[in-house]
Amino acid sequence: MEQYKARDIHFLVSGTFAKGQPHWPTSRAALKGLRLRQVSDAIKLFVAQVYIEQLAGVAPREMYDGLKKTWPGLSMMIPMAFVRVEDWQAAQQISDPQARCRSLIKTAAYYSEPTSQNEEEREFYVDETFTSFISYLEALPRNYPSLLAHVLGHLSVRYIYHDDTIPVLHAQV
């Protein structure tokens, strides 16, 4: 089964956001077949790993603080930054790059409306917020025998995670 490390998914998504427009919105196919919820889980898992490394003195506190500050806002934009493949393909017919980008942004904005969401987007939007995940993470006892195992169990509500790899489950792209 094809799978990706949580760290790699984090950098794929954060790299897309960092490039800014017109590099996004982009096609959901860039998510390599992962469902939106899996992408969210991968980012949460990566942030948890950095948090655990920070507690152990391996990662600098600033790294975790930066992730904690940045991801609550960005995480809700994932469905809009990675648009459905059919919407992406339709927009490619627009020859003017600025008009194409505006069209994609307008189309992607509809994904947050419940009546326009597909099953994958509904699954993503009913997930816990990133802020509530951070609250959960920081409330865990620091002396818990295995913080990572606890986080994996917490994230395995819909998909079962055994380590920091995310299996491809062929999303609706």
Judged by phi (left if over 0) then psi (alpha if -120 to 50, else beta), residue 57 lies in: left
Q: Dump pLDDT digits (tens) for 121-157.
A: 999 998 889 999 999 999 988 887 888 888 988 887 7
Judged by phi (left if over 0) then psi (alpha if -120 to 50, else beta), residue 70 lies in: alpha
Asked, as a colleague might, if the bond just before 72 is cis with ω within 30 of 0, I would say no
Output the pLDDT for position 159.
Answer: 77
pLDDT at 173 over 50: no
pLDDT at 116 over 70: yes
Output the pLDDT for position 90.
Answer: 95
Q: Dump pLDDT digits (tens) for 20-52.
A: 766 788 999 999 999 999 999 999 999 999 999
pLDDT category at 170 given cuts 50, 70, 90 is low
Output the pLDDT for position 155.
Answer: 86
Report how far residue 42's alpha carbon sits from residue 48's, in angstroms, rounded to the nearest whole number: 10
Report how far residue 156's alpha carbon sits from residue 6's, in angstroms, rounded to the nearest whole number: 14
Residues in the chain: 173
Output the pLDDT for position 143.
Answer: 81
Q: What average pLDDT does the structure give for the chain?
A: 89
Write out the DSSP string of 6-68. HHHHHHHHHHHHHH-TTS-SEEGGGGTT--HHHHHHHHHHHHHHHHHHHHTTSS-HHHHHHHH
What is the average per-residue pLDDT within 97-102? 90
**Six token digits for residue 129:** 């917020």
Output the pLDDT for position 23.
Answer: 74
Report how far residue 94's alpha carbon sits from residue 103's, in angstroms, rounded to the nearest whole number: 9
Report how far residue 111's alpha carbon sits from residue 121's, in angstroms, rounded to the nearest whole number: 7
